[in-house]
Amino acid sequence: MAENWPLYVTKTSPNDPVFVGTGEIPSGRYPNRSFIGDLTSVALRALKDAAMVPADVDTIMLIPNLHSIADQADLIFSRMVEELGLHGKAKASYMVHSGGSTSDNAVRAASGLIAAGHARTVLVLQCERWGSANLLEMITMLSKNGIPGEWELPTGLQFNAIGALITRRYMHATGSTAEEMASVCVTLRKWAQLNPNAMYRGKPLTVEQVVNSKMVADPLHALECPMLADGAVAFVMTSSENAKKRGLKDQVRVAGSGGCVSHYSIGQEKDLAVLGWKTASDRAWEQSGWGPEDADFAEIYDSYAAVTTSALEGLGLCKKGDGARWFAAGTGDPGGKFPINTNGGLLSAGHTGVGGGTALLVEGIRQLLHRAEPERQLEKASRCIIGGTGGSYMDAQVLLLERV
């Protein structure tokens, strides 16, 4: 069991790593966009948001894509340095990869670099184009990556089946009905109506529509499975001292984090209704000194409703077993007691691969910077919980962010 230890930077440390800008383009199916074009676009948007230009960045950190190995190689081999005119200037460019939770681990990596002085300003970039790719190729790719080829691939396991295994156990353990599970998707869809970048903006959803849609992987209906989407986001982190020097008034910092890798293969998860959320959350509370009552809102990975509802319970945001009913009561809705996934989440903004969690992270940062579009900017936005996971839901990552 990993021991807990304190964050070695505080609000007043000059090397406290802070978020100072974000950038994003719409998620959905955009066959006419291009990988490098999208990355360049969000890089420049994030820099503009941070009142910076490329020359202010010393380190570029890349979030992986899932649609193309060749595009991945471009990122690894530092293409974005050259695209942004930083050849000869940038110190380093590299990729961090842990599947869906990459966003959380990239924050830790960038934070560590800044706190130690290995970097001063880190630009983090993400783009996914699997929404425009051949669907069967993507399904097959997902069944071969992150699923043990010797032990589980022969069963025909694929990503919706993984979601179904978790959902079935969650429903059994908590007594949640199909309608209660569907209400999670309905809450997320309400938020998507308020996000101009969301794939499902303009497409409202009811519980009846979800439970009447085709059964894809029992107990999951088609309308509660995520849609693969193209998308891109970026964010800028720098030291507190540099942000102050540049006169940047809006800053967001990391108050603490926790994590738990509970398995690799889904067949080895001890409790599919719990995963690693409780352990990760307890570690985050301990490091930060927060409790669940200290957060104003949360952005939690929602590829499948049961992943989010079990996270809510592990975080202590609701009683054990009540996650789906918490959604069904409208608690997480726009105007509800505790806003959740305010960009519409993976289920309604679009599942942009490793970008799904990154988009949620960026939404959390954007809300805390008070720069979301007025229709969805939360009034109370000082502290938020970011919940990350992915793949076979092998790890649960919890980041606690606060406005400085």
Partner 1 sequence: MILPKIVSEFRDGLAKGELLVQKCDACGKLNMYPRFACPHCQSEKLGWQKSAGKGVLHSFAVLRAGAPEGFEGDLPYALGVVKLGEGVQLLGRLAPDADGDWSSYRCDDTVEFVAVPAAEVERRPCATFRRVKS
Question: Which of residues 50 and 157 has its CB atom nearest to partner 1 in the complex?
Answer: 157
Smallest separation (angstroms) from partner 1 to the CB of 283? 22
Considering just the CA atoms, what is the radius of gyration of the chain in Å? 20
- Candidates 96, 115, 165, 260; binder of partner 1 (CB under 8 A) is 165
134 binds partner 1 (CB under 8 A): no
Smallest separation (angstroms) from partner 1 to the CB of 133? 14
267 binds partner 1 (CB under 8 A): yes
Which amino acid belongs to residue 194? L
131-157: burial string, b at 16+ Cβ within 10 Å, e else:
bbbeeeebeebbbeebbeeeebeeeeb
272 binds partner 1 (CB under 8 A): yes
Distance separating alpha carbons of residues 333 and 189, to the nearest angstrom? 9
330 binds partner 1 (CB under 8 A): no
Distance separating alpha carbons of residues 190 and 204, to the nearest angstrom? 7
From the list 82-90, 94-102, 215-223, 353-361, the region that binds partner 1 by CB under 8 A is: 215-223
Which amino acid belongs to residue 108? R
154 binds partner 1 (CB under 8 A): yes
- Candidates 91, 97, 108, 168; binder of partner 1 (CB under 8 A) is 168
From the list 159-167, 315-323, 351-359, 396-404, the region that binds partner 1 by CB under 8 A is: 159-167
By three-state DSSP, how is residue 397 classified? strand
From the list 83-91, 122-130, 198-206, 214-222, the region that binds partner 1 by CB under 8 A is: 214-222
Q: What is the phi/psi pair of residue 388, to 5°?
A: -120, 150
- Candidates 4, 10, 140, 212; binder of partner 1 (CB under 8 A) is 140
Q: How many residues bind partner 1 (CB under 8 A)?
A: 38
Q: Closest Cα partner for 357 from 370, 343, 368, 369?
A: 343
Question: Which of residues 207 and 220 has its CB atom nearest to partner 1 in the complex?
Answer: 220
Cβ burial of 227 (10 Å; 0-12, 13-18, 19+) is middle
189-202: burial string, b at 16+ Cβ within 10 Å, e else:
bbbbbbbebbbbbe
Question: Which of residues 100 and 226 has its CB atom nearest to partner 1 in the complex?
Answer: 226
For 364, residues 6+ apart whose C-beta sits below 8 A from its C-beta are: 297, 299, 384, 386, 401
Distance separating alpha carbons of residues 211 and 223, to the nearest angstrom? 8
- Candidates 266, 307, 354, 381; binder of partner 1 (CB under 8 A) is 266
2 binds partner 1 (CB under 8 A): no
- Candidates 217, 252, 295, 349; binder of partner 1 (CB under 8 A) is 217
152 binds partner 1 (CB under 8 A): yes
Count other C-beta atoms under 10 Å from residue 101's C-beta. Answer: 26
Smallest separation (angstroms) from partner 1 to the CB of 230? 19
Residues that bind partner 1 (CB under 8 A): 136, 139-140, 142-144, 148, 150-152, 154-158, 160-162, 164-166, 168-169, 172-173, 214-218, 220, 265-270, 272
